[in-house]
Amino acid sequence: MLTIVWDVDDVLNDLMLQWFHLGWKAEHPDCPLHFAELTCNPPHEMLGITREEYLASLDHFRNTEPGQHLSPNPEILEWFVACGDRFRHIALTARPLETAPAVAAWVMRHFGDWIRCFGVVPSRSIPGEPVYDRTKADFLKWLKCGDILIDDADDNIRDAETLGLKTFQVPQPWNKSSLTVAKMVSQLSELAIRT
């Protein structure tokens, strides 16, 4: 049985989209940008703020009621219901450790029937915290059991391919993926049939 490693934010959910509309635009209604124009991640320069200001805004949103109760991606959830039991699943997120408990609970609430493992790579180190992995690739090298990575970030996709994993990049404004979620889950279903 193949093991799929799933990114959480902007793959299993739409964190950045919700942050942009319910967090950033609510606090900055004069912002002329649309979500589809956020072609860089992080988008701080496009927003005219520092990286630290952007991260503070995103982290604040993650801890709000809407940020902790995001809806799962409906196409991916539908695929899990139909085919999820044909694979093993791991959730792997890169975010601050203090926000990990809430997102782990979110993953278990929405995908816990299938995803039984949860990993986190701290996106920012705090003095005194042990550093085991600096990137998702470091985590995957240590884990040694992932076959497929599904992510939205170019660097994570590139690094996973270097490690020999099959990859699927979920389309977002900040990447150049031509794959739709519908095509991706169709290809995953084909993999389930072949294995």
Q: Cβ–Cβ contacts within 10 Å for residue 107, how many?
A: 21
Report whether pLDDT(156) > 80. Answer: yes
Domain parsing of the chain, residue ranges? 3-14+72-194, 15-68
Class of domain 3-14+72-194: alpha beta
Q: What is the mean pLDDT of residues 19-30?
A: 96
Percent of the chain at pLDDT > 70 equals: 99
Q: What is the mean pLDDT of residues 142-155?
A: 96
Q: What is the mean pLDDT of residues 67-82?
A: 97
Predicted confidence band of residue 192 (pLDDT cuts 50, 70, 90)? confident
Three-state secondary structure of 133-159? CCCHHHHHHHHCCCCEEEECCHHHHHH
**Residue 31 phi, psi dihedral angles, 5° rounding:** -65, 120
Report whether pLDDT(125) > 80. Answer: no
Q: What is the mean pLDDT of residues 159-173?
A: 98
Q: Supply the DSSP string of 35-55, one letter for each residue.
A: GGG--SSS-HHHHTS-HHHHH
Report whether pLDDT(195) > 90. Answer: no
Alpha-carbon distance 39 to 85, whole Å?
35
Exposed/middle/buried for 194, CB within 10 Å: 0-12, 13-18, 19+?
exposed
